Structure 1
Amino acid sequence: MIAANEIKDHMEVRSADGQHVGTVDHLDGSDRIKLTKSDSSDGQHHHLIPLEWVDHVDAHVHLSMNAADVRSKWTHLPN
Structure 2
Amino acid sequence: MGISIWQLLIILAIVLVLFGAKRLRNVGSDLGGAIKGFKSAMKDEENKDDNTEKKLEKKDGDVFEATAETKTEEKKDKA
Greater share of residues in strand: 1
**Larger relative contact order (Cα-Cα within 8 Å, sequence gap ≥ 6):** 1
Q: TM-score scaled by structure 1?
A: 0.17
Instruction: Kindly name which structure, 1 or 2, has the bigger radius of gyration based on alpha carbons.
Output: 2
Greater share of residues in helix: 2
Q: TM-score scaled by structure 2?
A: 0.17
